[in-house]
Structure 1
Amino acid sequence: MPPLLLRTVQSTSKLTFLILFLVSCRSVKKDADQSGNPLKSQDFMYQYSIIDALMAGVFDGDLTIGELKRKGDFGVGTFNRVDGELIMDQGLVYKVLYDGSVKEVADSDSTSAAFVKFFKADTTITMSGADLTYEKVQEHLVHVLNPNAIYALRISGDFTTMTTRAEKPAKPPYQTLSEHLKVNQVVFNLKNTKGICDGFLLPPYLARTNVPGFHLHYLADDHKSGGHIFGFTTAAVTIEIDYAKGFVIENNTNEEFQKVNLKPDRGEELKKIE
């Protein structure tokens, strides 16, 4: 083969290899972008720890808020030492403290139990009427939604009344959650407040791992009040509903989780505090 022709073939081969390499790199990047976060692409609810562990007094965890944000942008939970109520909305995490104040939480803080999801409403409904209550909203949703499904709910409105709670932080050695709340729960009776209620409606088969039924936390639009919701009254609400295809549980990674007795059924205790 003449030298010039040989150099041409070699140059062409190098060019072909470079083109194939660049195309391959673009393809890999495209595939990675399309796959994204599996919790987001698969539309799953994620939870850190289980409700029975929290009920039994496992009040510390190792999952940081920064890590939690990679699991979802919406949800509820608590913090280490059950130091207040956690509400995540639109990717930001807030703590409702026992004095009634609200603050945005740093990524370095940690949670002992949290339930989150990447929220994207599948449907939106509105309800209105004189003296519309939390109980009436629950009754309607139970009637129209599938009892075996997992739903994230975002309820917004102007509330005539809103009853919530937050708890004081616990000190070791920890009691059970129900015992702790007997003397460390602070109830807030809010009036004429505007905001959002974030949380979940979960089926009975998730009992002992999560809170079956409704579990929502409140955050006022002015970020000056909130907490775990006990009840509300309103004239109208907008309810965004996000159906989850499944759920993922990560056990609490704190060593206390390995020691706690999870055999007792704490369902009745849970009903009393929820």
Structure 2
Amino acid sequence: MSSVFSHYVKNLLLVIIVTGLLTNCKSSQNPQKYIGTSLADQDFMYQYSIIDALMAGVFDGDLTIASLKTKGDFGVGTFNKVDGELMINNGKVYKVSHDGSVKEAHDMDSTSAAFVKFFKADTVITIAGENLSYEKVQEHLVSILNPNGIYALRITGKFSEMTTRAASPAKPPYKTLSEHLKTNQAVFELKNTQGICNGFLLPPYLARTNVPGFHLHYVADDLKSGGHIFKFKTNSIRVEIDLAKGFIIENNTNPEFKAVNLKPDRGEELKKIE
């Protein structure tokens, strides 16, 4: 009887182990399914590649604009070869080129770095003041928002002054981004322009993966100007604030990413070009 009972126990344990393994396999698939179902429902920020890779010269990626649109309807980034500035608003992807032109990007274009979200404002505020500067706007927002939050920001208004830039395309072999921008960016001094500033306010703990602090791009309502924002002046703006629950990073899938040295801290370089 004891040998029969022992054999029965062994078989029972085998069934339990196999069942457990199957259960674990199913449960391990659930997070992947969850992540892929709907970024809009999850309320996450999604990013393709990391800022340190772009800073180090990883200027090409494999994510098409058509695919990027499935990750968010709002955001900022760049295109392959850092050819201009990318901004998404209400699902439309705009490209601000180094010649100052603004065009809707083609779905077959690709990005080497992009930070996007499905935008839904949690809070809307108005900030007003004579000759209100970008710096003052930043100070006000920092004073009212939690420093550990991940915020998508849409700012609309009329701007008496707006300084932006757009990078011109790089040619291989690529330099670092800071080296490239020394001689390959156009700076635009815009006057009396009206439009939309889209981007993010991110906490310090995202440094080396994204841009800590403020990172906004501009597109004018008439689609005649835009770019990465350095500064502006206004008398009144409307600020829509969307707090993200978290973030998802997809590594750049281009072979350049696997070969780049990501050990150096490029924080100081980033401050100079932002």
- Alignment match, 1:131: 131
> Distance between the aligned counterparts of 1:216 and 1:123, measured in 2?
18
- Alignment match, 2:145: 145
The 5 A counterparts of 1:9-28 are none
The 5 A counterparts of 1:1-274 are 37-274=37-274
Deviation at 1:187, TM superposition (A): 0.3
> Distance between the aligned counterparts of 1:194 and 1:165, measured in 2?
17
Greater radius of gyration (CA): 1
Give the match's secondary structure for 1:258.
Answer: helix
Under a length normalisation based on structure 2, what TM-score does the superposition of the two structures give?
0.87
Offset from partner CA, 1:75-113 (integer Å, 9 cap, x none):
000000000000000000000000000000111000000
> Distance between the aligned counterparts of 1:167 and 1:219, measured in 2?
15
Offset from partner CA, 1:159-209 (integer Å, 9 cap, x none):
000000001100000000000000001100000000000000000000000
> Distance between the aligned counterparts of 1:48 and 1:66, measured in 2?
13
In structure 1, give the amino acid aligned to 2:269.
Answer: E
Structure 1 segments unaligned to the other structure (5+ residues)? 1-34
Under a length normalisation based on structure 1, what TM-score does the superposition of the two structures give?
0.87
Number of equivalences = 240
In structure 2, give the amino acid aligned to 1:171.
Answer: K
Offset from partner CA, 1:1-44 (integer Å, 9 cap, x none):
xxxxxxxxxxxxxxxxxxxxxxxxxxxxxxxxxx9942110100
Deviation at 1:55, TM superposition (A): 0.1
Percent of aligned positions that are identical: 77
In structure 1, give the amino acid aligned to 2:220.
Answer: A
> Distance between the aligned counterparts of 2:36 and 2:155, measured in 1?
28
> Distance between the aligned counterparts of 1:149 and 1:234, measured in 2?
26
> Distance between the aligned counterparts of 1:195 and 1:130, measured in 2?
18
> Distance between the aligned counterparts of 2:37 and 2:230, measured in 1?
34
Offset from partner CA, 1:118-156 (integer Å, 9 cap, x none):
000001000111110100000000000000000000000
Root-mean-square deviation (CA), in Å?
1.0
Give the match's secondary structure for 2:240.
Answer: strand
> Distance between the aligned counterparts of 2:258 and 2:214, measured in 1?
28
In structure 2, give the amino acid aligned to 1:187.
Answer: V
Give the match's secondary structure for 1:166.
Answer: strand
